């Protein structure tokens, strides 16, 4: 009899644990897909700052363009042909061939050259035409438009500047810890937002108590609240492209507002210009590093890629939990951003946070031509795409 009771108890326990596991880790976290009115989206974009700030942006991850491969990437109002020669060097050029405008991404890689599919002209990684199979004389102006790029942290980064200026800062030397960390997973999503909304979110102290006050653990969220202490600092001088945001999140019992010891965590978010930021999460269950890249694709259309890393030996379930918690919080923000307008003259009160200071910091990434580009016809696709897990180990 006792054995039977024990067996039933064990079965119940397994069932409850399975339900919890499903709710916490497996329940799909796909964003609500919204219907957008294209005309309204155009109007909504008009209030926002220019769509393409100046800075480094991720075109793709390094493993998306293997040796001997060429791909097309549409971003920043451009179409890029991204290829990797047999020597491992990546070249990024305008997708349209300077000869008769065939699409170079439909060509092939031969040695360290990209070969056009139309008349087989060959271009090196610097865009220079290196060979024309039916002509001995190569005109010096036979060159594809190329872009300043850098491969760092497993990403192909492109420098974008509306005035065509050379990089004012470099990505070398940052994120040394990635060498010690283990890659966990990547997710990719296309959002109907302006990337400045993400930056303003960190400076918007008041919203934390209303948008991010719940955790995702079922039942627990009825009993506890998340309390945030936030602070943001803006760098100056040669690192003025950086800003750092710290969020200490504690769990507190709802009934008496008492903090639950050791249950909270800390997130330090570092902005490296407008194109990417790094979250460093430290909690009792483990640490995690999230590289979040924002690549503007058009008016109010931004590709957001998340690359998750953790110190070697971190419990996989802990990373999964932290990641689930973080993405649930992002989705709550995104649901707001995708339906908001840009407040050009916000009505701010005490307690709102340094939103204006954040706007001043962000304004360094716009130059006069950014506003001229903004006036060009919208190329935005107004259909949001669902979250897609691209790779994971």
Nearest to residue 304, comparing CAs of 390, 183, 200, 372? 390
Binding mask 9-48 for Fe ion (x = CB under 5 A): ----------------------------------------
Residue closer to ligand FES (CB basis): 135 or 373: 135
Interaction partner, residue 29 (ligand FES, Fe ion, none; CB < 5-8 Å by kind): none
* Binds ligand FES by CB under 6 A, chosen from 81, 92, 95, 116: 116
Q: Which of 56, 121, 245, 330 binds ligand FES (CB under 6 A)?
A: 121
Cβ nearer to ligand FES, comparing 73 with 116: 116
* Part in contact with ligand FES (CB under 6 A); list of ranges 117-125, 174-182, 257-265, 318-326: 117-125
| Paired tokens of 337 | 């951003």
Say if residue 129 is exposed, middle or buried (CB neighbours under 10 Å; 0-12, 13-18, 19+).
buried
Rounded to a whole number of angstroms, the minimum distance from the CB of residue 83 to Fe ion is 38
Chosen residue from 119, 150, 227, 359 binding ligand FES by CB under 6 A = 119
- In the bound state with ligand FES, the residue whose beta carbon lies nearer, of 92 and 190, is 92
User: Least distance in Å: CB of 90 to ligand FES?
Assistant: 20
In the list Fe ion, ligand FES, none, the entry touching 201 (Cβ below 5 to 8 angstroms by class) is Fe ion
Q: Which helix (H) or strand (E) holds 15?
A: helix 2-21
Phi, psi of 42 (to 5 degrees): -65, -45
Between CA 35 and CA 119 the distance in angstroms is 44
| DSSP string covering 90-116 | EEEEESB-TTT--BGGGSEEETTEEE-
Q: Do the Cβ atoms of 86 and 111 come closer than 8 Å? A: yes
- Which among Fe ion, ligand FES, none contacts residue 333 (Cβ within 5 to 8 A by kind)? Fe ion
> CB-wise, 121 or 294, nearer to ligand FES?
121
Return the number of other C-beta atoms located less than 10 Å from residue 102's C-beta: 16
- Which CB sits closer to ligand FES, 85 or 98? 98
d(CA 284, CA 211): 24
Burial 238-266 (b: 16+ CB within 10 A, else e): eeebbbbbbbebbbbeeeeeeeeeebbbe
Give the three-class secondary structure for 299: coil
Query: Which of 296, 294, 292, 242 lies closest to 271 in space, CA to CA?
Result: 242
Q: Enumerate residues 136-195 that contact ligand FES by CB under 6 A.
A: none
For residue 197, state whether it binds Fe ion (rule: CB under 5 A): no
Q: Interface residues for ligand FES in 65-104 (CB under 6 A)? A: 97, 99-100, 102
CB under 5 to 8 A by kind: which of ligand FES, Fe ion, none does 97 bind? Answer: ligand FES
Residue from 54, 61, 171, 201 in contact with Fe ion (CB under 5 A): 201
Name the nearest CA neighbour of 325 among 286, 353, 275: 286
CA distance 361 to 161: 17
- Of 113-121, 223-231, 276-284, 330-338, the window that binds Fe ion (rule: CB under 5 A) is 330-338
Position among 20, 118, 220, 342 found at the interface with ligand FES (CB under 6 A) = 118
Instruction: Report the partner that residue 366 touches, choosing among ligand FES, Fe ion, none (CB closer than 5 to 8 A by kind).
Output: none
- Separation between Cα atoms, residue 26 and residue 20, nearest integer Å: 9
Q: Which stretch binds Fe ion (CB under 5 A): 107-115, 160-168, 199-207, 311-319?
A: 199-207
Rounded Cα distance, 192 and 34, in Å: 10
Could you say which DSSP state residue 49 is in?
P
CA distance linking residue 352 with residue 329, whole number of Å: 19
Nearer to Fe ion, 305 or 333 (CB): 333
C-alpha gyration radius of the chain: 24
CB of 211: closest distance to Fe ion in angstroms?
5
How many of the chain's residues bind ligand FES (CB under 6 A)?
Answer: 8
User: Whose CB is nearest to Fe ion?
Assistant: 333
**Size of the chain, expressed as the number of residues it contains:** 393
Among 122, 197, 305, 333, binds Fe ion (CB under 5 A): 333
- Alpha-carbon span 126 to 113, nearest angstrom: 10
Site residues for Fe ion per CB under 5 A = 201, 333
Site residues for ligand FES per CB under 6 A = 97, 99-100, 102, 116, 118-119, 121
């Amino acid at each position: 009899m006792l054995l039977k009771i024990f067996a039933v108890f064990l079965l119940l326990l397994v069932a409850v644990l399975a339900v919890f596991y499903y709710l916490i880790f497996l329940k799909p976290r796909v964003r609500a897909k919204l219907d957008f009115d294209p005309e309204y989206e155009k109007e909504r974009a008009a209030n926002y700052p220019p769509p393409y700030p100046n800075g480094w942006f991720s075109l793709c991850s390094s493993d998306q363009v293997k040796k001997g491969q060429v791909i097309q990437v549409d971003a920043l109002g451009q179409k890029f042909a991204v290829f990797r020669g047999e020597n491992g060097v990546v070249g990024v050029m305008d997708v349209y061939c300077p000869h008769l405008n065939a699409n170079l991404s439909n060509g092939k890689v031969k040695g360290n050259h990209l070969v056009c599919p139309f008349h087989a002209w060959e271009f090196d990684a610097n865009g220079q035409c290196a060979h024309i199979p039916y002509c001995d004389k190569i005109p010096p102006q036979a060159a594809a438009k190329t872009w300043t790029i850098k491969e760092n942290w497993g990403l192909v980064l492109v420098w974008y500047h509306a005035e065509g200026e050379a990089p004012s800062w470099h990505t070398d030397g940052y994120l040394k810890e990635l060498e010690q960390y283990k890659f966990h997973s990547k997710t990719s999503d296309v959002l109907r937002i302006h990337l400045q909304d993400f930056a303003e979110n960190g400076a918007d102290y008041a919203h934390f108590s209303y948008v991010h006050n719940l955790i995702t653990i079922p039942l627990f969220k009825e009993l506890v609240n998340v309390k945030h202490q936030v602070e943001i600092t803006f760098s100056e001088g040669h690192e003025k492209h950086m800003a750092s945001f710290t969020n200490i999140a504690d769990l507190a019992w709802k009934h008496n507002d008492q903090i639950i010891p050791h249950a909270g965590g800390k997130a330090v978010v570092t902005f490296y210009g407008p194109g990417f930021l790094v979250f460093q999460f430290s909690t009792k269950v483990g640490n995690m590093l999230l590289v979040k890249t924002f690549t503007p694709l058009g008016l109010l259309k931004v590709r957001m890629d998340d690359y998750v890393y953790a110190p070697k030996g971190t419990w996989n379930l802990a990373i999964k939990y932290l990641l689930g918690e973080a993405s649930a919080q992002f989705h709550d923000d995104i649901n707001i951003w995708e339906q908001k307008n840009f407040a050009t003259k916000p009505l701010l009160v005490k307690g709102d946070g340094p939103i204006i200071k954040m706007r001043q910091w962000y304004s360094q990434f716009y130059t006069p031509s950014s506003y001229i580009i903004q006036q060009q016809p919208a190329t935005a696709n107004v259909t949001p795409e669902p979250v897609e897990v691209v790779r994971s180990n």
